[in-house]
Amino acid sequence: MLRSSMRPIFPSLLAGALACAATCATLPATAAAEPLTPISFQAALAAAKDYAADRTLVFYCLRKNAEMLPFTYMIVHFELQDALVKLKGAGSNAQQNAQLAQAVLGNVRFFPTATDEPRLEADCKARDVEQNYYRFQGSFSVPLALRPPFKELTP
């Protein structure tokens, strides 16, 4: 009895699977990421330099926070890695990857605790960096891979 009641189910499942396959074959393919162009690569380098300036400000403003100090290098490392994954997915070559790393690492500055720079101190206060960084507000809280043009690239 159990066997005879299951027979009508199999043909209907097979028919449903075939109908699904036919429908899926006619659906448009997912759009591929835009290939990396000289213009988009230059935009990526500019974004990397802006990111480095934002991280420099954050690291200056948080330089006296002993709990944060061990994470500053790790933050730059992981966020740069995420951006490189997206850049490589868009077709970058080894030289472009190196240029991106240099744009970030060559421009991020780290500060000893005792450092006092009046211009950066004024920026810290004007942009309320310490509070806004922990609230994920402001450009200085956005990882490189989530900034244009990286956010449009797919890994």
pLDDT in tens, 32-58: 456 788 889 999 999 999 999 999 999
Q: What is the rounded distance in angstroms from the CA atom of residue 26 to the CA atom of residue 7?
A: 30
Report the amino acid identity of residue 41: F
Q: What integer pLDDT is reported at residue 116 of this predicted model?
A: 95
Q: What is the rounded distance in angstroms from the CA atom of residue 22 to the CA atom of residue 154?
A: 28
- Cβ distance 95 to 150 under 8 Å? no
> What is the residue-wise DSSP string for 18-31?
HHHHHHHHHSPPPP
* Helix pair angle (94-105, 69-89), 10° resolution: 150
Q: Which residues of the chain have pLDDT under 50?
A: 1, 4-32
- Cβ distance 83 to 144 under 8 Å? yes
Q: What integer pLDDT is reported at residue 49 of this predicted model?
A: 98
Q: What integer pLDDT is reported at residue 27 of this predicted model?
A: 39
My answer on whether omega of the bond before 149 falls inside 30° of 0, hence cis, is yes
Q: What integer pLDDT is reported at residue 34 of this predicted model?
A: 63
